[in-house]
Structures are given as structure tokens and as C-alpha cells.
Amino acid sequence: MADIADADDHKLQRAADAIKAAPVSNTKGGSSCDGTCGDSSRNEQEGSYCLIKSVKHLSDRGFTRLPDRYILPASERPGDGSGRVKLPVFDLTRLRDPHQRAATIEALDAACRDYGFFQASALLLFLSLSGGFSALCVQVVNHGVAREVIAGLLDVARRFFELPVAARARYMSPDVRAPVRYGTSFNQARDPVFFWRDFLKLASCQPLSAVVTSWPDEPADLREVAARYAMANHQVFMELIEAALEALGIACGRSLLRELAAGYSQIMLNCYPACPQPDLTLGLPPHSDYCLFTLLLQDQVEGLQVMHHGRWLTVDPIPGSFIVNVGDHLEIYSNGRYKSKLHRVRVNSTRPRISAASFHSLPAERVIGPAAELVNEGNPRRYKDTDYATFLSFLASTEGKHKSFLQSRKL
């Protein structure tokens, strides 16, 4: 059995080179690895793919030097990165107040246009969703629930990444369409240089009951904890997108909201272990997200950087809050009024970091293009129609970094 646990630096390098020489073909129906990826009956390429199991493993083994496969060319390294940004804070509770709703929607519109990113207090959001602010007892009771839901997800993610490598590798797959997928780097099958990240993707489409049974059964509480989080998170998304549609002046907002209630969502649990030489690599390369909105939950360790006016700026983590960003779908739908912004992740040498990015959009087969209300003579259509399947084919055939998919959709 080929296993990174038994591999030295050279063996890892050889495995990485094998992948580089023979990239995995991501065709339909790729199978998951079961932790015995060296099995001679398996496709050799898939075996090579699975040999690279996790950066968590490398970090735990106490590597003091970054394996060559993770060293970025000088021009792509993180650089100085001392700039910081305080994102605009968007208080969702104000949307509930008829006197403040219009001004709040204006603020949301400005944040989506200028930054593509904003911050929302998750505790406040969960409180508002569960029935109101006026009664103090509701705040206290629901404060506890919110904390539990948020902390619970980060905790179960941490415990998943601490499982033995064979338990995690059960969910490893080169198939970008797999509803559950464990892996490492950004797009492991295509990255010429690997990134310092392990991930677990959980499709979390509505109704959740249809997908939860495919989620990992280890740790034993993962399904329950992640399902509670997914439901709460989806409700927050619905509030935000409703406000965004109003800000954009979309007349068919109601019917779109009905489609979104049964839309496509996924949670990406990210693990960035302490890295021996963080200045030579990144946790995630510059990229934009393929969705309408992403709601990002991060622990107390910083790492997220956003591109703003040509500079990479680090976002201060505020525990219990969501970072919300505009995705490619919303840039297309808004005909470029809102911009999906490039972001990336830096790693550090001492503190492991966990984050959970929830990507929300329309049902996977639904074609999306610029809204009719936002196309006119003075502002012609700027993007082709697209759908999620087209994006997945694109991702399966290329690295998918920067805003390359969105560029391919521009007219």
C-alpha cells in the first residue's frame, strides 16, 4: 500500500512528478479511493493522484523544508503582504426594520460594487433569523445556539482533518463532480505546483436529506453538525440574495428566490496546517468563486487576502462573523455591476487554520445570464449564458485559477 505516512521527501516528489507527467483525466463517474490506492488493479494515474494525500500529514511529520512540489515561482509567492483591510460591515438585522431597509440595501449595493466583499455578523444574523431582537431572552437563548452551530462546524472540521489518512482518503476522488470529495491543493489533478491546503467538499443542495447520507460518517457527529450549519447558512444566504436582487432592481425577484430555495450549495471545509516555509507557497492561489455569494467562516487565525486596488490586503478575522463575497454568477447576472473579487490564502509557520466556505447559487442545471433589467443600449450584455455543468467541465480541464472561467464567459 502506497501511503504518504511511509513516504520520504523523495517518494513524495516522485509521486508528484508522476502526476505532473500524466494528469488525471476527469471524466464522468470517477471513483473514490479507499485508502488502498496502490492496488495494482487500479488505474495507475488514479493511484498517483491518491498518493498525494495531505499537507496535514507533511506538517505533522515535522518537515522543516517545503518539498519542491510546493514551491511557487518567485513571481507567484505571497510577498510582503503587510496591508490590511477592514471590510464594510453589513448588519442584516437592519433589513428587518422598515425605516432602515432602504439605506441598508444601498449600503449592500455599494459594498458589492466597490469591494465585492463585506462582513456580516453571524451571531446577529442567526439571531435575526430565529425570531427578532426586541426580546432579550431570545438573544440569550439564540446566542447559545448560534455559537454552537458555528463553533461546532469548525470543531468537526478540525476533527475530520485529524483522522488517520486512510479514513480521510476514503473520500478522495479526482472527479470534480463528486458530491463529496476530499483532496489537497487547489485543483490537485491540474496544479503544476501544489498549494498548502487540504479540503473536504460537501455538496449541500436542498433538500439536504438527499445528500447528507453521502457525507463522511466519521467523525460520528459530522453529518448532524454540518447539516445544522448548512441549513442556517443557507437561510442567511437567502436573506442576503433577496436584498441584492432588490438592490439590482430585479422585477422577477420572487420567482428567482423560489428557485434559489432549492438551489445548488456546497460547503468547502479547508485545513491549512502550519507550513515550514510559508513565504514560498500559498494556501490557495488567487481565484474567484463560481456562485452568487460565498459565505466564509474562519477561525481566529488570519490568512484570507483580497485584491483591492491592485494590492493584496489581509482581512482581520472577527470570530463569529461571515465574510461574504460576490461570486462569478452574480457578476454575470448583474451584467458586471457587481464584481467577483480575486482572493487567496496565505499560510503561516506556527498556527494551523480552519475555514468553511459555503458557495450558493441556482440549481446546477439552470442557465444563468445577465438579467434583462440590467441590459440596455447604454449597457449592452457583457457575458454569455452559462451553467454549473459548463463550469465543472472547465475546472476538469484546466487549473481554474484567477478569473479564468469568468474571462471565458465574457463577450
Ligand X SMILES: O=C(O)CCC(=O)C(=O)O
Q: Using CB under 6 A as the criterion, which residues of the chain lie in contact with ligand X when the complex forms?
A: 268, 270, 284, 289, 296, 298, 303-304, 343, 345, 355, 357
Taking the least distance from each CB to ligand X, the nearer of 46 and 289 is 289
Alpha-carbon distance of 249 to 244, in angstroms, equals 9
Taking the complex as a whole, the smallest distance from the CB of residue 99 to ligand X amounts, in Å, to: 35
Taking the least distance from each CB to ligand X, the nearer of 128 and 355 is 355
Taking the complex as a whole, the smallest distance from the CB of residue 51 to ligand X amounts, in Å, to: 23
Dump the DSSP string for 247-302.
HHT-TTHHHHHHHHHT-EEEEEEEEE---S-GGG--SEEEE--SSSEEEEEE-SS-
Taking the least distance from each CB to ligand X, the nearer of 256 and 354 is 354
Taking the complex as a whole, the smallest distance from the CB of residue 356 to ligand X amounts, in Å, to: 8
Taking the least distance from each CB to ligand X, the nearer of 323 and 368 is 323
Residue 21 CB contacts under 8 Å (≥ 6 apart), including other chains: none
Q: Is 382 in contact with 411 (CB distance < 8 Å)? A: yes
Taking the complex as a whole, the smallest distance from the CB of residue 289 to ligand X amounts, in Å, to: 6
Taking the least distance from each CB to ligand X, the nearer of 104 and 358 is 358
Taking the complex as a whole, the smallest distance from the CB of residue 304 to ligand X amounts, in Å, to: 4
Alpha-carbon distance of 159 to 149, in angstroms, equals 15
Taking the least distance from each CB to ligand X, the nearer of 15 and 296 is 296
Q: Of 10, 246, 240, 249, nearest to 125 (Cα)?
A: 240
Torsion of CA 19, 24, 29, 33, to 10 degrees: -10
Alpha-carbon distance of 236 to 121, in angstroms, equals 11
Q: Is 34 in contact with 70 (CB distance < 8 Å)? A: no
- Measure CA 353 to chain center: 14
* CA dist list (Å): 127 to 109, 138, 241, 299: 23, 8, 18, 20
For the record, the C-alpha cell of 363 comes out as 440549481
Task: Give the N- to C-terminal CA distance of the chain in Å, as an integer.
Answer: 50
Q: Is 327 in contact with 289 (CB distance < 8 Å)? A: yes
Taking the least distance from each CB to ligand X, the nearer of 357 and 368 is 357
Q: Tell me which residue has cell 482581512.
A: 315
Taking the least distance from each CB to ligand X, the nearer of 276 and 283 is 283
Taking the least distance from each CB to ligand X, the nearer of 94 and 201 is 201
Taking the least distance from each CB to ligand X, the nearer of 116 and 303 is 303
By Cβ distance, which residue is nearest to ligand X?
Answer: 355
Backbone φ and ψ for 404, nearest 5 degrees, come out as -65, -35
Q: Is 370 in contact with 383 (CB distance < 8 Å)? A: yes
Taking the complex as a whole, the smallest distance from the CB of residue 407 to ligand X amounts, in Å, to: 18
Q: How many residues does the chain have?
A: 411
* CA dist list (Å): 207 to 167, 204, 211, 240, 265: 27, 8, 8, 20, 10
